[in-house]
């Protein structure tokens, strides 16, 4: 469930970032922004969760202290289930969006510059150029990454839910991989935990192959 | 005229948006940085935002005086170095033969390797394997299972394949063995790729948490991430301050936790500006294969 939300919310963000960054012509600004955007990718989930707790805790978290000062109520970012899901998604985007952008940026540089010039001659606006030239230009990249991400939907993510979760939000924070950990390692019920883990792997593979199959049918393009 | 003006506004808006997002990537770090250097009073009063208030080093002092923390840091550094060396050795000796068309069963090997990228037995079989190998709760449990990444292997194989075959052929004419060619011809030409992959391995190992959580029990084998987890998240920050509980100047948990986080992340933050372009070139080598 969390992973599906992750995919739906998180997938478009790097594309949008790449498109925006692509429009910037000031070289040094572009480079600095890129450096800053990639940085979170190299920070571990342990540290990110630690930071999230420091910043977002209901009582002493910096954000809530700040809100209280302004006269607002505290927001239970980590303890309320709905809020927690948003926080969870946000940390995922915070960490990975900049990194995901790299591939799109690379794909963007491969687009034929003549197309833009032709569009300029025809008087196309910037938005139209983005829509009709840039997006179709990076479509193969988008499709491949989408397939791969669908394949990972069932498999990824032990560290993030495990580290971000707390007893108050167990209902939503429990995903297959954390369940396998709790049942298998903590309670030592290896048989059932192995079965769940294997099931997870199989589902992931099925997702991947079917996404690839559909993409081949529709787009004539797969990952292999 | 109108067109040019609207284009300029558009530019400004885009720059503002990207600038804002970029700053958002840094702010949490800066805030923690500020907290870690601030005085207790200022933190409790909520005065600290992005600049330290009441600058002091008390929090860092307790982190550095915490023997287990330092020990964990040194252990992690050593472990990461060992892991990276072993992993690079494995990756190189696996990638090079796979570039050779005359290798019997090459396609089969490749398929078997790629399958592991998408399908695995799961957590419990891994755990049982490590247990049966009798390396549970030892440094080998952290080093060996991840000693070859299929993804990195394919990146390196792709890179090796891009080296002109003529170079190798002429070396063979001169009577060089495959091993000699690998060491004297291929590797020197692959330094950028080798650097990138070493960094991938090292950062991955540095940030790795799950396997340590599962395989490691003894305190003295805690890698820094597990240590941070114990201190910052599962709320044993008291461990750190017990020594100073009697001391009136003991730092509050906020600054203590922030200091620990900075302590554990610092190595990455320090090298990051220098290595980030390698990462990018590396991830693009991987992209080209598609």
Three-state secondary-structure class, residue A165: coil
Q: Are residues B137 and B15 in the same domain?
A: no
- Give the list of residues 6+ apart from residue B252 with CB closer than 8 angstroms, or none: B40, B43, B44
Q: What is the ipTM of this complex?
A: 0.75
Chain B touched by A190 (CB under 8 Å): yes
- Report the residue of A17, A21, A49, A50 to disrupt the B interface, i.e. the one with the largest count of B CBs within 10 Å: A50
Q: Are residues B40 and B96 in the same domain?
A: no
Q: Is B53 exposed, middle or buried (0-12, 13-18, 19+ CB in 10 A)?
A: middle
Q: Are residues B62 and B113 in the same domain?
A: yes
Q: Are residues B21 and B122 in the same domain?
A: no
Q: Are residues B18 and B132 in the same domain?
A: no
Q: Which domains does chain A have, with CATH numbers?
A: 2-219 (1.10.3720.10)
**Model pLDDT for residues A131-171, shown as the tens digit of each residue:** 878 888 788 778 878 877 777 776 667 777 777 777 667 66
Going from the first residue of chain A to its last (224 residues), give the mean pLDDT of each consecutive group of 10, the final group possibly shorter: 75 83 78 79 81 74 74 73 80 81 79 80 78 80 79 71 73 75 77 82 82 76 59
Which ranges of chain B does DSSP label H, i.e. alpha helix? Answer: 2-37, 40-44, 58-65, 67-98, 106-118, 123-132, 139-143, 150-161, 165-173, 178-181, 187-189, 191-207, 210-215, 224-228, 237-242, 253-288
Question: What pLDDT is attached to residue B179?
Answer: 87
Q: Which domain holds residue B45?
A: 1-56
Count of domains in chain B? 2
Domain boundary among B37, B56, B75: B56
Chain B touched by A180 (CB under 8 Å): yes
Question: What pLDDT is attached to residue A155?
Answer: 64
Cβ separation of A102 and B125 shorter than 8 Å?
A: no
Cβ separation of B257 and A201 shorter than 8 Å?
A: no
Q: Are residues B68 and B19 in the same domain?
A: no
Min distance B31 CA to chain A CA atoms (Å):
9
Cβ separation of A198 and B7 shorter than 8 Å?
A: no
Q: Are residues B135 and B256 in the same domain?
A: yes
Cβ separation of B121 and A194 shorter than 8 Å?
A: yes
Cβ separation of B18 and A25 shorter than 8 Å?
A: no
Higher per-residue pLDDT: B254 or A52: A52
Q: Are residues B61 and B51 in the same domain?
A: no
Question: What pLDDT is attached to residue B248?
Answer: 42
**Model pLDDT for residues B82-130, shown as the tens digit of each residue:** 999 999 999 999 998 888 888 888 888 888 888 887 777 777 888 888 8
Q: Are residues B28 and B67 in the same domain?
A: no
Using an 8 Å CB-CB cutoff, list chain B residues near A23.
10-11, 14
Q: If you measure CA to CA, which chain B residue comes closest to A22?
A: B14
Q: Are residues B43 and B61 in the same domain?
A: no
Cβ separation of B21 and A17 shorter than 8 Å?
A: yes
Domain boundary among B56, B75, B93: B56
- Distance CA(A178)–CA(A191), nearest Å, equals 16
**Model pLDDT for residues A41-62, shown as the tens digit of each residue:** 888 888 888 788 777 776 667 7
Q: Are residues B70 and B37 in the same domain?
A: no
């Amino acid at each position: 469930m969390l992973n599906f939300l992750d995919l739906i919310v998180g997938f478009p963000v790097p594309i949008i970032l790449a498109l925006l960054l692509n429009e910037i012509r000031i070289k040094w600004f572009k480079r600095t922004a890129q450096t800053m955007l990639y940085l979170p990718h190299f920070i571990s989930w342990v540290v990110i969760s630690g930071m999230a707790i420091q910043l977002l805790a209901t009582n002493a978290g910096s954000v809530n202290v700040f809100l209280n000062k302004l006269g607002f109520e505290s927001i239970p970012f980590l303890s309320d289930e709905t809020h927690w899901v948003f926080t969870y998604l946000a940390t995922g985007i915070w960490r990975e969006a900049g990194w995901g952008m790299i591939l799109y940026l690379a794909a963007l540089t491969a687009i034929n510059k003549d197309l833009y010039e032709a569009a300029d001659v025809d008087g196309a606006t910037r938005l139209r150029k983005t829509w009709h030239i840039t997006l179709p230009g990076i479509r193969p990249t988008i499709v491949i990454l989408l397939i791969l991400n669908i394949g990972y939907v069932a498999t990824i993510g032990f560290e993030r839910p495990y580290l971000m979760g707390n007893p108050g939000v167990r209902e939503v924070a429990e995903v297959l991989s954390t369940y396998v950990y709790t049942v298998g390692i903590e309670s030592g019920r290896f048989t059932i935990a192995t079965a769940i883990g294997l099931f997870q792997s199989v589902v992931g593979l099925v997702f991947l192959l079917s996404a690839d199959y559909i993409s081949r049918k529709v787009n004539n393009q797969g990952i292999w | 005229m109108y067109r040019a003006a609207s284009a300029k506004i558009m530019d400004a808006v885009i720059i503002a948006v990207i600038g804002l997002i970029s700053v958002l990537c840094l702010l949490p770090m800066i805030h923690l940085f500020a907290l870690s250097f601030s005085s207790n009073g200022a933190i409790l009063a909520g005065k600290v935002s992005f600049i330290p208030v009441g600058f002091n080093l008390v929090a860092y002092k307790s982190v550095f005086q915490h023997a287990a923390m330092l020990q964990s840091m040194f252990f992690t550094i050593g472990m990461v170095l060992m892991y990276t060396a072993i992993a690079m050795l494995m990756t190189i000796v696996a990638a090079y033969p796979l570039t050779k068309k005359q290798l019997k069963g090459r396609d089969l090997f490749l398929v078997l390797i790629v399958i592991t990228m998408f399908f695995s037995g799961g957590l419990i079989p891994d755990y049982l394997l490590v247990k049966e190998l009798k390396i549970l709760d030892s440094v080998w449990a952290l080093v060996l299972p991840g000693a070859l990444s299929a993804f990195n292997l394919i990146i390196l194989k792709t890179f090796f394949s891009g080296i002109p075959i003529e170079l190798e052929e002429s070396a063979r004419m001169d009577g060089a063995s495959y091993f000699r060619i690998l060491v004297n011809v291929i590797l020197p030409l692959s330094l950028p790729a080798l650097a990138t992959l070493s960094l991938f391995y090292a950062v991955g190992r540095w940030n790795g948490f799950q396997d340590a959580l599962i395989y490691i029990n003894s305190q003295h084998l805690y890698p820094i991430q597990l240590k941070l987890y114990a201190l910052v998240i599962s709320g044993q920050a008291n461990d750190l301050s017990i020594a100073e509980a009697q001391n009136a100047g003991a730092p509050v948990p906020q600054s203590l936790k922030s200091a620990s986080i900075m302590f554990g992340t610092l190595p990455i933050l320090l090298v990051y500006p220098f290595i980030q372009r390698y990462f990018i070139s590396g991830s693009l080598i991987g992209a080209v294969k598609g």
